[in-house]
Chain A
Amino acid sequence: MSDRIGVYVCECGPNIADKVDIKKILTEISAFNEPPEKIIIAKKHKLLCSKEGQDFLADEIIKNELTHLVIAACSPRDHDITFMNVCKRTDLNPYLYKLVNIREHCAWIIPDKDEATEKAIQYIRAGISRVTYQDPLIEKELDSIPDVLVIGAGIAGIEASLSLAGENRKVYLVERTSSIGGKVTKFEKILPHQGTNLDIIQEKIKAVQENENIEIFTESEVEKAIGFFGNFEITLKNIHNDEQNNEFKVGAIVAATGFNLFNPEKIPRYGYGKIEDVYTSLEIEESNSKTGKILLKSGKPPKSVALIHCVGREERGYCSRVCCNYMFKIAQYLKEKMPDIKITEFYKDLCLPNKADQEFFVDTKNKGVNFIRFKDIAVKQKDKEKFIEYTKMDGKKEKISAEMIILAPAIEPAEGSKEIAELLNISLDETGFFQEAHQKLNPVATSIDGVFIVGTAQNPKNIPDSMMDAQAVGGKILTQLIPGEKLIPEVIVSEISEAFCTGCQTCLSVCSYGAIYFDEDRNISIVNEAICRGCGNCVASCPSGAAHAKHFTSTQIYQEVLEAIR
């Protein structure tokens, strides 16, 4: 059957009708003979987006056996979907329709009616010219696996596993070390104002262990993860035993690899590693939760302690968000254990973003902890005595002595984050943490569909916020990966023509979704349509013109532009 194009112009009430000469448009378009003899019908309607207008269109498509549809109306932002749905109702492939915007582009911006009419005619001709080069595109359906791989069994990974595991969904929880729970199990208490103590974490660990839909692999690492949303093939390796590999398939992956502390030895002025009784916060937490005591190396309790905030903040280039609060917590431990102890907290800023944080600070201060805001600071030793030398905000230099010094080192991405990122094909941002799909709107997703990031692996954060991330991933996965339901990948994707591809692999380097792979045998690059989002980067970068984007082919664009400027 030869092409049968229908063109419909919307009056949009007076919006278009008053500003362009629709009669003239219809006469000229009917006479438009490029492509010849194909315009079957050109009509107007008062409001095509209305229910009545949509019914009219559907009727017209069927009655006139249209193969292509051009609508001249408003912005595609308003009604592209509306008209695509009309096409679907009539079995006309929605990719064989084109919406030409003669309202925002002509009627509303050109005061002169003749001029607006001319431009509208030109645009409609361009649309007609394009539509005949458009190809019908078909939505595909893919089977998906509802199961999820969670990498890292800290609090974020544990909470994610608990949020996800269920009757129809298995979770594989992989942990590098020999036990699950991560760093929080080393804390004596979770910040008091956040409620309770460690028992709750232990309960969660138990819940994970007892959950029959969660399979735990300790002392294991992910070796391979290939595939796409709904369908990843995973290989795990046991760290100690090369033979012991596990293979399984999942639909989604959650990276919950957590954090490390900045090594204070990198900044010699803190004396860490050189001067006795200079500790990191984590060392204090560990000794306190193991022995219930905070003691000097000599075994004696300290009479004076200096807590220094923001160690490595400048070097890392960001504030770690949690250290102010946990330093108050440590000060409170010390005060509880040794009420007469002299505590000085040296801070730069008080970062108290949670609604309960400031109260906790005030409470700590009221317990007799001395707070000093500093500009510069150094830990010095003279004979047996240790000093904190500091410059205050007013430029005055002072010093105090302290028996014990506790540092709050910056939170860094965990060791091996880079390798995990490479394995999963996701990016790291400039600070070395995993990069989110969108900083504001999509913070737990990544540029790779089906790969999610939670907890401190994404950004320094506290326990409640890490849990919130994990629950958010629950929200994402439980709504997107429903057991038994098929996934419909993007239809407007790119393809690489085998005949033209020279195997240069330029496209591989520009695809931020990891959608292109290289076929060594045939020496060509190939787009995986299940992953491709149709961004067009590969098309623009291919030096041989082998890559092209469906629905935005060079021919389609060329024909449209040609007619628009004729």
Chain B
Amino acid sequence: MNNSDILVIGAGVAGIEASLLLASTGKKVYLVEKASLTGGNVIKYEDVFSNMECSTCMIAPKQQEVLQSENIELLTLSTVEKVQGEIGDFTVTIKKKARYVSLIDCIGCGMCYEPCPVSLKNEFEQNLSEKKAIYVPCPGSLPNVPAIDPEYCLQLNGKKTCNACVEACAFGAINLSDKDEKIEIKVGAIIVASGFDIVEPAGFPQFGYGKYPNVYTAIEAERLYASNGPTEGEITLRKGNTPPQAIAIIQCVGREQQGYCSSVCCMYSLKLAHYLKHKLPDAKIYNFHSDWCMPGKYNQKFHQDVKEEGVDFIYSPVDKIKVEGNDKSLLIEYYNGKDEKEKLSADMVILSLAMMQGKDTASLSKLLGIEQDKRGFFMNQGIQLGSVDTSKPGIFLAGCAEGPKDIQGSITQAEAAVGKVMSYLS
């Protein structure tokens, strides 16, 4: 039995691209996304290198298309639990967590947030701001429909009776007795586009993340700059609440430990430097780099441009860099190109941390029956078949789930996965 429906796991740029292409042929696509919104990591950035196009403006139309496509069934807050069968005939069990808000009835007016009495840390915003128990992660989230966190909602966790959001909603869109569901679907092929995560900064105590409040990860810096972010784009320090005056960006953090170069951090570090120069023209910006990894035709020019904007590039091996200081000021100890020890003070440090496999890679690989490579990413089948095939026919890879890459690389791989699916299933 040849089933031509497709399961796509992960609704980042790669998963979205694959779903849209497949749906355009009339095939039914189940797009399973763990989070409450689509877009993956890319929607966290204000702009993308190296053309510096507005990130949300770039992918929102695609996210919108997913929501409007009749052939795509988007399952948010969902994960795959069980996969059986083989190419042409997979049976997949999906666990869909209750959202408590109807994707059909809610119009996204946002009237329900105010009245909710519970505030909690907003993980999407890297805990730089708070959200209510009923929330959308950030303005512009798509679908623009809130979800309720059952762990924190007073009614749902049983701590108190509360009905505030339900009362505030004029559309009857909130249903506090919504339940988790198990859904069983049948598909002919599966595309795994579950993306990446960032290595934990705690693994690198020498840079003082967690110890000194004004040491940030690159994603935190992205959110600080974003106009829909926790500070609406104002760059103010965690401690002190003032704009920073000297910022040090440290590249390649975790590269040695992970055993590979993440291939995008040079470029996004340049992007961050450019952002910061733009908003804080008087601030000093230092970039500590080792090799410049900027493959491809557009990237070096961007590097040149950022250099001309007055960013200080310092060649310094990352393994010899240390950050010390206190709540307010930081001291970076490093070795310069002449291998001499130097010191430099700054009030903000940004760490360009290595990308690593998505947190669910191991469990997904087990339940899908596909292999991981020794770095932890999903394993491709090498030069014979190319980078989208897995060890199991009918299951393909797309985007950073297969290895670190930029947006165009992720899109290309998604299209390649679709190419494979189409030639197997048609």
Contacts and interface: CB of A to CB of B under 8 A. Distances in A.
Interface of A: 12-15, 47, 49-50, 77, 81, 159, 163, 166, 190, 194-196, 200, 313, 317-321, 349-359, 362, 393-395, 429-431, 433, 439-444, 459-461, 463-465, 467-469, 471-476, 478-480, 482
A164 to B, nearest CB: 8
Interface string B374-393: 01010000111011100000
A349 B403 CA distance: 21
B108 to A, nearest CB: 9
A474 B396 CA distance: 14
Interface of B: 17, 21-22, 24-25, 48, 50-51, 53, 58-59, 62, 64, 68, 104-105, 107, 109, 111, 170-171, 255, 259-261, 263, 291-301, 315, 337-339, 373, 375, 377, 382-384, 386-388, 403-405, 407-409, 411-423, 426
A205 B255 CA distance: 38
A290 B190 CA distance: 43
B419 A478 contact: yes
B388 A433 contact: no
A358 B21 contact: no
Given A319-B300, A349-B293, A443-B408, 20 more contacts: A13-B170, A14-B111, A49-B107, A163-B419, A317-B300, A319-B292, A351-B292, A353-B261, A353-B293, A359-B260, A441-B62, A444-B412, A460-B297, A464-B383, A472-B414, A472-B416, A475-B415, A475-B416, A475-B418, A478-B422
A538 to B, nearest CB: 24
Contacts of B388: 468, 471
A433 B296 CA distance: 11
- The 7 A-B residue pairs with the shortest CB-CB distance in the complex, in nearest-first order: A474-B419, A195-B382, A475-B418, A475-B419, A471-B416, A472-B415, A353-B263
Contact of B21 (A318, A461, A467, A476): A476
A474 B423 contact: yes
Given A13-B170, A163-B423, A439-B51, A358 B261 contact: yes
A229 B337 CA distance: 54
A443 B58 contact: no
Given A442-B411, A460-B296, A480 B301 contact: no
A464 B260 contact: no
A84 to B, nearest CB: 11
B67 to A, nearest CB: 10
A357 B315 CA distance: 21
**Which of B375, B404, B426 counts the most chain A CB atoms within 10 A?**
B426
B423 A478 contact: yes
Contacts of A319: 292, 294-296, 299-300
A475 B21 contact: yes
A479 B408 contact: no
Given A15-B109, A474-B419, A475-B21, A459 B297 contact: yes
Given A359-B259, A439-B408, A479-B25, A471 B386 contact: yes
Nearest to A167: B426
Contacts of B419: 163, 471-476, 478
A195 B389 CA distance: 14
A196 B298 contact: no
A321 B107 CA distance: 47
A561 B412 CA distance: 43
Contact of B68 (A81, A440, A443): A81
B234 to A, nearest CB: 22
A14 B170 contact: yes
Contacts of A444: 412, 415
A553 B347 CA distance: 56
A12 B337 contact: no
Contacts of B337: 393-395
A77 B261 contact: no
Nearest to B172: A13
A479 B295 contact: no
Which residue among A465, A468, A469, A471 has the maximum number of chain B CB atoms within 10 Å of its CB? A471
B68 A355 contact: no
A353 B420 CA distance: 24
Contacts of A163: 419, 423
Nearest to A314: B300
A440 B408 contact: yes
A468 B261 contact: no
Contact of A479 (B24, B58, B404, B412): B24
Among B171, B375, B421, the one with the most A-chain Cβ atoms within 10 Å of its Cβ is B171
A15 B64 CA distance: 21
Contact of A15 (B107, B373, B409, B422): B107
Contact of A441 (B294, B373, B411): B411
Nearest to A361: B261
**For A350, A394, A441, which residue has the most chain B Cβ atoms within 10 angstroms?**
A441
A195 B170 contact: no
A353 B423 contact: no
B411 A440 contact: yes
A465 B402 CA distance: 13
Contacts of A354: 263, 403
B221 to A, nearest CB: 20
Contacts of B377: 355
Contact of A353 (B25, B171, B295, B407): B295
Given A467-B386, A471-B386, A479 B411 contact: no
Nearest to B261: A352
Contacts of B405: 353
10 contacts: A77-B64, A166-B423, A357-B260, A394-B338, A443-B412, A459-B297, A464-B382, A471-B420, A472-B414, A475-B414
B263 A431 contact: no
Nearest to B62: A441
A473 B299 CA distance: 24
Given A163-B419, A355-B377, A468-B388, A47 B171 contact: yes
Given A13-B109, A81-B68, A440-B51, A394 B294 contact: no
Nearest to A195: B382
Contacts of B53: 440
Given A318-B296, A471-B386, A357 B171 contact: no
B410 to A, nearest CB: 9
B21 to A, nearest CB: 5
B297 A394 contact: no
Nearest to A462: B295
Nearest to A197: B383
B375 A355 contact: yes
A75 to B, nearest CB: 11
A390 to B, nearest CB: 14
Contacts of B263: 352-354
B293 A351 contact: yes
A439 B298 contact: yes
B297 A431 contact: yes
Contacts of B292: 319, 349, 351
Contacts of B301: 317-318, 430
Contacts of A442: 411
B132 to A, nearest CB: 19
Contacts of A464: 382-383, 386-387
A321 B295 contact: yes
B63 to A, nearest CB: 11
A475 B24 contact: no
A441 B58 contact: yes
Nearest to A163: B419
A545 B419 CA distance: 44
Contact of A349 (B62, B255, B291): B291
A394 B339 contact: yes
A196 B383 contact: yes
Contacts of B17: 441
A302 to B, nearest CB: 28
Given A318-B298, A472-B415, A478-B426, A463 B383 contact: yes
B58 A460 contact: no
Contacts of A320: 295
Nearest to A359: B259
Contacts of B426: 166, 478
Nearest to B255: A358
